[in-house]
Amino acid sequence: MIKTTIPQEEVLKSGHLACPGCGASIAMRYALKALGKNTSLDIPACCWSVIDGPFPHSAVGVPLFHTAFETAASTASGIRAAYDVLGKKDVNVVAWAGDGGTYDIGIQALSAAAERNDNILYVCYDNEAYMNTGIQRSSATPWGAWTTTTPVKHPKDRPKKDLVAIFAAHRIPYIATATVAFPEDFVKKFQKAKEIKGTKFILIHSPCPPGWKTRPEDTIKLSRLAVRTRIFPLLEVEKGIHWKLTMNVKKPVPVIEYLKLQGRFRHLTEEDVKFIQENVDWEWELLMKKLENK
C-alpha cells in the first residue's frame, strides 16, 4: 500500500492546455484531489477557461460551468441555491477564478456573496495579471512589476490590493492563503474549507512562466521563495478576526532571491528592491500584530 501525503487519485486529466510549468494547473490538480468528485466548478473568463480544453472536451472530470468574467461568485451562489433546493446539500460548489476576475471585475459579486455568507468556496489563483489576454496589469500585480500595460518606463506604481484583509472585513467563516510549493498545506486547507458552511475564500499564489518571464522549471521554486521571503504569508483567518500563520518564516530570505528569477522585475534598481524589501518587512510586522499564534 502506497501512502501518499496528498490524495493519490487523479481527478484532473492529462492533456489539458496549460503552459508548461503553469502554477494554475498544479493548483487545480491539488484542489480536485482535496475536494473529490462530488464537486461543481464554475469558472469565469481566465486562463482556466482555455486550459480545460475546447468544446466538446473537458479536463477537470467534474461538472464545470463556464461563465462571464464578473460572475464567478454570483453564478456559484445560483448553483448553490439550486443544489440546496434539490436536496444536494453535500456537493461542493466552487468558484475558480483568476486575479482579474476576483480583484477587479468580479469583486462586487464576491463581496455580495460574502456578505450573504453563501455556502460556496471561492478560489482565486493569483498569477498577478490578466494573463489569458496577454499579460495586462490587474490590481493584483505587485509594485514594480512589468506588464504590457505597465511597461518598463511606467511599471506598476501601486501596491497589490490586500484581498485577505478585505474579506476578513466581511467576517466570512474561513479565509486561507496557499501556494503550489506546499501541497500538504494546500490540500489540508481545501479539505478544511470543504467542511465549513458559509463563504470560504482561498487565495493561491500561482507562478506564471510566460507572464512573469520565468523558466517553467522554476515554478515550484518561485512559489516556495514567495513564502520564504515573507512576500506571500501562508495563513488562515477564521470568522474574519482570528488570524493564524500556518507556516512561520523565522529567518526570511531576502526578496532579491525571489525577484532576480523573474524577467518582469529585471528593470528594478537597487532602490526599487530596497523599497520592496522595506514594504515586505513592514507588512510582516503588521501581520504579526494581528496574529493569534506567533
* Residues numbered 186-215 forming contacts with another protein, rule: CB under 8 A: 215
Longest dimension (CA), the chain: 59
Q: Cα separation of 97 and 122, whole Å?
A: 8
Q: Does 100 bind another protein (CB under 8 A)?
A: no
Cβ(70)–Cβ(109) under 8 Å?
yes
Choice between 67 and 177, CB closer to another protein: 67
Q: How far is the CB of 274 from another protein (least distance, A)?
A: 29
SS3 136: strand
Q: Cα separation of 107 and 245, whole Å?
A: 25
Q: Cα separation of 16 and 53, whole Å?
A: 6
236 backbone dihedrals φ, ψ, rounded to 5°:
-135, 145
Choice between 94 and 129, CB closer to another protein: 94
Q: Cα separation of 251 and 253, whole Å?
A: 7
Q: How far is the CB of 185 from another protein (least distance, A)?
A: 12
Q: Does 71 bind another protein (CB under 8 A)?
A: yes
**DSSP secondary structure code for residue 282 in this structure:** H
Q: Does 183 bind another protein (CB under 8 A)?
A: yes
Q: Does 6 bind another protein (CB under 8 A)?
A: yes
Q: Which of residues 254-283 bind another protein (CB under 8 A)?
A: none
C-alpha cell at 65: 460551468
Q: Does 4 bind another protein (CB under 8 A)?
A: yes
Q: Does 74 bind another protein (CB under 8 A)?
A: yes
Q: How far is the CB of 8 from another protein (least distance, A)?
A: 7
Q: Does 68 bind another protein (CB under 8 A)?
A: yes
Q: Does 62 bind another protein (CB under 8 A)?
A: yes
Cβ(131)–Cβ(210) under 8 Å?
yes
Q: Cα separation of 33 and 184, whole Å?
A: 11
Among 25-33, 96-104, 236-244, 285-293, the segment contacting another protein (CB under 8 A): 25-33
Choice between 217 and 278, CB closer to another protein: 217
Q: Which of residues 107-136 bind another protein (CB under 8 A)?
A: 108-109, 111-112, 115-116, 118
Cβ(239)–Cβ(162) under 8 Å?
no
Q: How far is the CB of 172 from another protein (least distance, A)?
A: 15
Choice between 45 and 231, CB closer to another protein: 45
Choice between 13 and 242, CB closer to another protein: 13
Choice between 38 and 293, CB closer to another protein: 38
Residues near another protein (CB under 8 A), total: 76
Burial 19-51 (b: 16+ CB within 10 A, else e): bebbbbbbbbbbbbbbbeeebbbbbbbbbbbeb
Q: Does 169 bind another protein (CB under 8 A)?
A: no
Q: 186 exposed, middle or buried (CB, 10 Å; 0-12, 13-18, 19+)?
A: buried
